[in-house]
Structure 1
Amino acid sequence: MKKVLVFGAAGFIGNALLRELIRCGMEVTAVIPERNINETAAEMVRDTGARIVECNLQDVKGNLGKRVTWDIDTCYFLAWDGLSNDGLNDYSRQINNVIYMLDLMVEVHKLGCKKFIGSGSITQQELATEEGRAYLTDKHKYYRTAQQACEEMGKCLALELNMIFIWPLITNIYGEGEKSPRFINTMLRKLLDGEDVPTSEGKQLYDFVYISDAVKAFIKMGEHGKSNRKYIVGSGHPMQLREFLQIVEKTVCKGGKIKYGKFSYSGVYFTDKEYDIGELEEDTGYHIEVDFDTGVRNTADWIERCGGYNG
């Protein structure tokens, strides 16, 4: 892996991956939206020194190859349209992501790309259970099924293109630099701002992985990942959600409180099996370096340095 394209480089994960790839000496092309992009996020990409290409997800077909005229050996797909509440409930926007991803695979194949790495969600695992297949009434129903379609159709197209295809499943990533409403960062911001946070009893199994470890997992997959693997990107140490939140409470010893049992959890209860990172460790040599206590402390310190807990 020497010449890498990161599609979705302006996002939380994409920007962190971009910076680490450059630090590792890779030649990186960063693709960011041509329109409707936060200017601060765009500037963070420009500051990396990567080759910048502007192209919207919807415009990939027939356009990306006109803007990227150099060779690519590996592509990371970290973009997705429709992650807001309205977007999650819009089946047309969700299914269009499958088409966009397949179009991107075709376009980067023309540039010589041999390995394509996507970004699925751990919630796809719900579709593998009888309980999960019956539980298709929440706001993520179209999102998780579209991601599953990306995985299955991506495998089919990769076979035609003679391309290595990897569709990792992300557990829950958190850390410095996060501005979107992911769970841990949102929880920390509210608590530091003095706001009480209602939760369920927290008996469901969860896993969280710090951003630097998640990025390392993606790079390891780029270097050593095997085709058609569905690697789990996590810490490998799942616990009941309440145990994680107690660590958050201990870290944020001022401000708001976590109020347990304020609503019932109605989702699927995962087991250790769904969070198993053994295949990722065995194939790539991945291991975590940042435990949850340290990661939460680092993230809380970063939020406080930003000076605006709700910003």
Structure 2
Amino acid sequence: MNKVLITGVTGFIGGSLARKLLSQGVTVYGVDIETPKLDEFKKYDNFIPLIASFEEYEMIPSRIQDREIDVFYHFAWAGGFTSAIKDYKIQMSNAAYAGDALVAAKNIGVKKFVYAGTYNQYEIENFLATPGFEPRYTCIYSTGKTAASLICRTLAFNLGIEYSAGLIPMPYGENNYSKQLVNVVVDSLNKGIAPKLVEGKNTYDLIYIGDLVDALIAIGEKGKNQHEYYVGHRKLKTFKELMIDIRDVIAPDVELKFGEYKDNQKIDYSKIDLDALYRDTGFECKADFKETMKITSEWVKKLEM
């Protein structure tokens, strides 16, 4: 890749991808709202900022003269993975804006559109296929992500632009300012406090941001058209095993409180092709868990949580 466009370029994933590509000499068009976070990228001569709200995505092609952009990465998502997961109006608006992003990519003449989905979309597949399924609030967020995926795949097929997607499990690492699971657990352990957790019998996965960025680059370069890939490890553990691994790195003397909540995630991993991304692109997670968790622990200490 020589040139890419990234929406949500100041976010955790978008920003991490931008830094890696910029350091490799790739020209990055970074789309986001006006924010001081954009200042970080001004040191790169190959970074070109594009100030645009979701409502202005349709105008992006008129603001770019370049018609040789290789990949359009779409990360921007209003509300993120916060309490907004319950807000169906925000989530369905996000799906529509994703469609606007794809149409913009087509009008710019981009070769490939890469969508950042979530592994929670597999829960929606289970929801649709299982009578009596009991959906949790996260399913509203996941439905928005699934709707965006279907809209973009359909538009891409009919407009003649390549489409690939990565369905991402829980990411962790430096530059994550959120209060997502890993940061909350690590913060508690840094303070010597036992976090309250679910039973932990369900299969789960965590992906270090460095691995995730490499996976997204692999999808942009080698991902097959109309394919959506699980972006994570090929061999998985249970939630309980992963939390114990985190505890053993940060605060081995803390006794974790499993069973404070019931396991409520309902993803059928037996129906997920965990090897597809490796087969098609050669990507595989390589980060050392202990080392990256130490890095994450030091990062979380800098946050006010």
Q: TM-score, normalised by structure 2?
A: 0.91
Any idea what the Cα deviations from partners look like across 1:278-310, whole Å, max 9, x if unmatched? 110111111222032222122113334x3x4x3
- 1:218-237 alignment runs, 5 A limit: 218-237=216-235
RMSD between superposed Cα atoms in Å: 2.1
- Summarize deviations over 1:51-76 as a string: whole Å, max 9, x none: 11111122212x21232222222100
Query: 1:212-244: per-residue Cα shift (whole Å, max 9, x none)?
Result: 010000001111111111101112221011111
1:211 maps to which residue?
209
Residue of structure 1 equivalent to 2:62: 66
When structure 1 is superposed on structure 2, of 193-202 and 163-172 the one drifting more is: 193-202
Distance 1:149 1:123 in 2: 13
Identity %: 27
2:114 aligned partner = 117
Q: Which moved more, 1:262-271 or 1:107-116?
A: 262-271
Aligned to 2:163: 165
Within 2, Cα distance between the matches of 1:85 and 1:52?
Answer: 26
Of 142, 145, 149, the match for 2:143: 145
Structure 1's 86 and 4: CA in aligned 2 closer, same or farther, altered over 3 A? same
3-state secondary structure, aligned to 2:28: strand
Where do 1:31-180 residues align within 5 Å?
31-34=31-34, 37=35, 39=36, 41-49=37-45, 50-61=47-58, 63-71=59-67, 72-83=69-80, 85-129=82-126, 134-135=132-133, 137-180=135-178
Separation of aligned partners in 2, 1:93 and 1:291: 36
Using the TM superposition, name which of 135-144 and 287-296 deviates more.
135-144
Shift in Å at residue 141 of structure 1?
2.2
- In 1, the alpha carbon distance for the partners of 2:187 and 2:14 equals 22
Look up the SS of the partner of 2:91 in the other structure.
Answer: helix
**Contact between 1:191 and 1:257, CA under 8 Å: does it hold in 2?**
no
Counterpart in 1 of 2:3?
3
* Paired AA for residue 214 in structure 1: L
Unaligned runs of 5+ in 2: none
| 2:16 counterpart letter in structure 1 | A
Structure 1 residue 123, shift from structure 2 partner = 0.8
The range that moved more, 208-217 or 75-84, is 75-84
The alpha carbon displacement at 1:192 in A equals 0.7
Residue by residue, what CA displacement relative to the aligned partner does 1:37-59 show, whole Å, maximum 9, x if unpaired? 4x3x3333334441111111222
**Structure with greater strand share of residues:** 2
For these two proteins, the number of residue pairs brought into alignment is 302
Three-state SS of the structure 2 residue aligned to 1:167 is strand
Separation in 2, partners of 1:293, 1:135: 37
| 1:174 Cα deviation from its structure 2 partner | 0.7
In structure 2, the CA distance between the partners of 1:47 and 1:197, relative to structure 1 (3 Å rule), is farther
3-state DSSP class of the match of 1:202?
Answer: coil
After TM superposition, list the pairs within 5 Å mapping 1:154-303 onto structure 2: 154-253=152-251, 257-274=255-272, 276-303=273-300
For residues 47 and 168 of structure 1, the distance between their equivalents in structure 2, rounded to whole angstroms, comes to 29
TM-score, scaled relative to structure 1: 0.90
Instruction: Specify every segment of 5 or more residues in structure 1 that has no aligned partner in the other structure, as ranges.
Output: none
